[in-house]
Amino acid sequence: MSDSGKITLALAGNPNAGKTTMFNALTGARQHVGNYPGITVERKEGFATLATGGEKREFHITDLPGAYSLTAYTQEELVARNHLVDERPDAVIHVLNAGSLERNLYLTVQFLELGVPVALGLNMMDEARKKGLTIDSDKLGELMSAPVVETVARAGKGVKDLLAAAGDLAETRKDHTWSPLEISYGPDLDPAITEMTEKIEAAGFLTDRYPSRWLAVKYMEGDEQILTLGRNADIDLAQELEAVTARVSEHCQSTMNTYPEAVIADFRYGFIASLLKQGIVRREPLRERIEMSDRLDKVLTHRALGPALMLGVLLLVYQITFSLGQHPMDWLGLFFGWLGETAESLIPEGLVQSLVVSGIIDGVGGVLSFVPLILIIFFLIAFLEDSGYMARIAYMMDRVFRMFGLHGSSVMPFIVSGGVGGGCAVPGVMASRTLRSRKEKLATLLTAPFMACGAKLPVFILLAGVFFPHHEALALFLITLSAWAFALFAARILRSTLIRGPSTPFVMELPPYRMPTLRGLIIHTWERTWQYIKKAGTVILAISILLWAAMTFPPPHEADLAPLNEAVAEAQAHVDGFPEDTDQATLAQAEDDLAMAEAALAEAGLANSLAGRLGRALEPVSQSAGFEWRTNIALIGGVAAKEVIISTLGTAYSLGDVDPEEAFSLAGHIRSDPTWTTPRGIALILFILLYSPCFVTVVAIRQEAGSWKWALFSIVFNTALAFGVAVAVYQGGAMLL
């Protein structure tokens, strides 16, 4: 400790290890700059204070010039060495570049050989981590017998800890004895070094300043400064020592064709290598992985082969999602069907029953039925992302999508939403999470719902069967194609108006491929899915109840219902009244009558409900697209879920419950109705393709876009676009026909 009671520290390290940055972080403004006397090397000094456990420590810190070693080859190295020897700081803070530890430790070893107390600051840990290095600093400290602290000097991280460690070290070495490390330099040098050390010690040769063995090694290295100092101190001993080194040098040259200096350097590096071999630095074999990646990319991003393989991967993702998801979705469907029936049998018929079954159970079932899809899609996306392939997809698709103001990564949301027909926009919208740029993400998630999702398909199949008999497949293909056209077109419009802004430059570097870990995949998947269940669940249940209410309230007037109820009761009595042996035809006729009476009752309820009234109120407007009020009601119901369109249309046409899978009666009805012209059919198909996303998707949009504003926008924008297209088709068709 210096006289002033301050702990004196020297900052040392290779050039560019971050010493000066560290020095500034430690001392702040409390520093001054001068020169070492007679030379141009800068001398920086500063002060620092550290309060630890009520005790205040003062430090005087000197920033030494950068040095790779402590030989006397350069002026900087000599200045650093002289500072240590002449001023004997209480401790040295050795700043190392953690990213090239092996080379940096060469200087450390020399500090240890000199015996000066040294605290190691493993600096630039941020970059080391980026390079994929992990360093066991505790173990390094153990092996080096020196405190080790990981730092990021530029961010001031770990700087205080390093100072505290140096302070502790200085206190334990208060007696100022240095304890030099003794490295073996092999059978050729070791005996000679020992011989010289003994001579040096016996004569007390320069030992007031330098450790004896260190001096012997310096003689071996032919260190100019020490040789001169030696000759001036004791010319006889100096010559003796020089004779020993000459002998060893000759021996080295004749046997190994090398010099003692080189042998010494080799053994120092050997010492470092043996330390590092004990698992201090673990590095991901980055170079190997990059080479491997490059080889893979020759195929995977090949001009022709790449896109073909990518299409295969996307189709596979799609297939896995929906075929694997189908089973749990079916089970959930069965379960909620059973739950609904149970509730029906337990709760007396009426509003409460209707609320529980159609409002709550259907709502919760609606939320949960998407969970398997979301789980699977997120698992697969996590796999593609973690493995590095997602970046390749984006890279390959970017040139196409960029034209529409989108990003290469937009392809996944589009495909999942139904870009190949039969997807689902809920996981599709969520898949837009892979997009980093907010504007491109918005444009993607707003247009992905245009795709022909699985819930729209049955409606398309029904209508295609009616209007394009024998050409259903072609019709469905064209529908899917127009979905893409409209999505890209709408994206282009949005990106030139509301969400205008430059495309993110495609600077995405292609990260090397890696095998994802199962643990990572599961965590990613579960986090995202749980978020959906938690956030969407509550909102979706509430909206589901609202939609139920809109299709139930207000109930029809008693007076209007009475005859319908009577008709149902009469038909029921008629069916019940037949004796056991009544022939099948008569019985079937009576049952049909009953079904028709019940359908009329249901129609009356729907027609009078808020949704029904809205459907009627909208008729004057919707007429221009060819939709009368019954279609309107079905479309309103379709906002709950697109698969509801067929069943609602069935109810509105008082056809009773129409199962979407066997909607023959509805198809027959439409076919035989002359007002259902082909333009009206096409207008309806395109309207259903494009109009407001179902509300589960709307909630997903709200979640991904981060605000209800965009969720509401998607309802309004999509519906307006859909209506515009439907009107154009219907009116255009009417003019042509």
Per CB under 6 A, residues contacting ligand GDP are 13, 15-21, 66, 123-124, 126-127, 152-154
How many residues would you count in the chain?
Answer: 737
Closest distance of CB 20 from ligand GDP, Å? 3
The C-alpha angle with vertex 121 and arms to 115 and 122, in degrees rounded to 5, equals 120
- Smallest distance from ligand GDP to CB 125, Å: 7
Q: Least distance from C-beta 17 to ligand GDP, angstroms?
A: 4
Number of residues that bind Mg ion (CB under 5 A): 1
Tell me whether residue 20 or residue 632 sits nearer to Mg ion (CB atom).
Answer: 20
Instruction: Report which of 162, 101, 109 is spatially closest to residue 133, judged by C-alpha positions.
Output: 101
| 101-114 vs 260-276: helix crossing angle, rounded to 10 | 110
21 binds, among Mg ion, ligand GDP, none (CB under 5 to 8 A by kind): ligand GDP
Contact call for residues 114 and 179 (beta carbons, < 8 A): no
432 binds, among ligand GDP, Mg ion, none (CB under 5 to 8 A by kind): none
Q: Which does 195 bind (CB under 5 to 8 A by kind): Mg ion, ligand GDP, none?
A: none
- H or E segment at 10? strand 7-13
Q: Build a one-symbol-per-residue string for 20-59: x at contacts with Mg ion by CB under 5 A, - elsewhere.
A: x---------------------------------------
Residue 448 in contact with residue 507, Cβ under 8 Å? no
Tokens found for residue 733:
């068709």
| Shortest reach from residue 124's CB to ligand GDP, in Å | 4
CB of 19 to Mg ion, least distance (A): 5
Which of 15/333 has CB closer to ligand GDP?
A: 15
Residue located via tokens 């980055």? 286
- Tell me how far, at minimum, the Cβ of 100 lies from Mg ion, in Å: 17
Instruction: Identify which range of 18-26, 207-215, 235-243, 502-510 contacts Mg ion by CB under 5 A.
Output: 18-26
Minimal distance, residue 713 CB to ligand GDP, in Å? 43
Alpha-helical segments (H) within 497-609: 518-531, 537-550, 558-577, 584-608
- Least CB distance to ligand GDP at residue 160 (A): 14
> In 3D, which of 486, 519, 514, 504 has the Cα closest to residue 417?
486
For helices 325-346 and 362-369, the axis angle rounded to 10 degrees is 170
CB of 152 to ligand GDP, least distance (A): 4
Comparing CB distances to ligand GDP, the nearer of 123 and 480 is 123
Among the candidate windows 17-25, 233-241, 317-325, 468-476, which touches Mg ion by CB under 5 A?
Answer: 17-25
* Distance of closest approach, residue 162 Cβ to ligand GDP, in angstroms: 11
Binding segment toward Mg ion, per CB under 5 A, in 13-21, 123-131, 180-188, 599-607: 13-21
Output the DSSP codes for 14-74. STTSSHHHHHHHHHTT-EEEEE-TTS--EEEEEEEEEEETTEEEEEEEEEPPP-S-SSSSS
Degrees, nearest 5: CA angle 639-323-658: 40
* Binding partner of 173, given Mg ion, ligand GDP, none, CB within 5-8 angstroms per partner class: none
Burial of 674 (0-12, 13-18, 19+ CB in 10 A): exposed
615 binds, among Mg ion, ligand GDP, none (CB under 5 to 8 A by kind): none
Burial 530-560 (b: 16+ CB within 10 A, else e): eebeeebbebbbebbbebbbbbbeeebeeee
Q: Which is nearer to ligand GDP, 10 or 361 (CB)?
A: 10
Nearer to ligand GDP, 7 or 122 (CB): 122
65, interface contact from ligand GDP, Mg ion, none, CB < 5-8 Å by kind: none
Closer Cβ to ligand GDP, 148 or 430, answer by number = 148
For Mg ion, the closer CB: 25 or 443: 25
Of 124 and 146, CB closest to ligand GDP: 124
Q: Does 697 bind Mg ion (CB under 5 A)?
A: no
Amino acid at 682: I
Assess contact for 446 and 709: CB atoms under 8 A. no
Element (H, E) at 581: none
Which one of Mg ion, ligand GDP, none interacts with residue 538, CB within 5 to 8 A by kind?
Answer: none
Neighbour tally for 395: CB within 10 Å: 20
153 vs 686 by CB, closer to ligand GDP: 153
- Binding at 16: pick from Mg ion, ligand GDP, none (beta carbon under 5-8 Å per type): ligand GDP
Residue 17 interface partner, choices ligand GDP, Mg ion, none, CB cut-off 5-8 Å depending on type: ligand GDP
And the tokens for 493? 């419009």
Inter-residue contact 686 to 678 (CB < 8 Å)? no
Choose among 513, 510, 512, 524: nearest CA to 398: 510
249 binds, among Mg ion, ligand GDP, none (CB under 5 to 8 A by kind): none
- 699 binding partner (options ligand GDP, Mg ion, none; Cβ < 5 to 8 Å by kind): none
Three-state secondary structure call for residue 121: strand
The one segment of 16-24, 184-192, 469-477, 488-496 that binds Mg ion by CB under 5 A: 16-24
Q: How many CA within 13 A on the CB side of residue 562? A: 4
User: Shortest gap between Cβ of 20 and Mg ion (angstroms)?
Assistant: 3
**Is residue 90 within 8 Å of 9, Cβ to Cβ?**
yes
Q: What is the largest CA-CA distance in the chain?
A: 138
Cβ nearer to ligand GDP, comparing 130 with 282: 130
Q: Between 130 and 438, whose beta carbon lies closer to ligand GDP?
A: 130
Q: Which does 374 bind (CB under 5 to 8 A by kind): ligand GDP, Mg ion, none?
A: none
- The CB-of-689 to ligand GDP minimum distance in angstroms stands at 52
- By beta carbon distance, the residue nearest Mg ion is 20
Minimal distance in Å, beta carbon 11 to ligand GDP? 8
Sheet holding 7-13, edge to edge: 31-35, 42-52, 55-63, 7-13, 91-97, 118-123, 148-150
Nearer to ligand GDP, 96 or 645 (CB): 96
Residue 480: in which H helix or E strand, if any?
helix 472-496
User: In angstroms, what is the minimal distance from the CB of 289 to ligand GDP?
Assistant: 22
650, two tokens: 């069935």
- Matching residue, tokens 């000199």: 114
**Minimum CB separation from ligand GDP for residue 65, in Å?**
9
Point out which span in 12-20, 198-206, 382-390, 694-702 binds Mg ion (CB under 5 A): 12-20
Q: Which is nearer to Mg ion, 20 or 692 (CB)?
A: 20
Q: In the complex with ligand GDP, which residue's Cβ is closer, 32 or 438? A: 32
C-alpha distances (whole Å) from 724 to each of 492, 561, 710, 717, 719 are 17, 38, 20, 11, 8
Q: Which does 152 bind (CB under 5 to 8 A by kind): Mg ion, ligand GDP, none?
A: ligand GDP
Instruction: Give the distance, in angstroms, between the CA of residue 461 and the centroid of all CA atoms in the same chain.
Output: 38
Closest approach, Cβ 78 to ligand GDP, in A, equals 17
Question: Considering beta carbons, is residue 154 or 251 the nearer one to ligand GDP?
Answer: 154
Enter the tokens of residue 491. Answer: 């994206």
Nearer to Mg ion, 12 or 701 (CB): 12
**Is the bond into 260 cis (omega within 30 degrees of 0)?**
no
Q: Which residues of the chain form contacts with Mg ion (CB under 5 A)?
A: 20
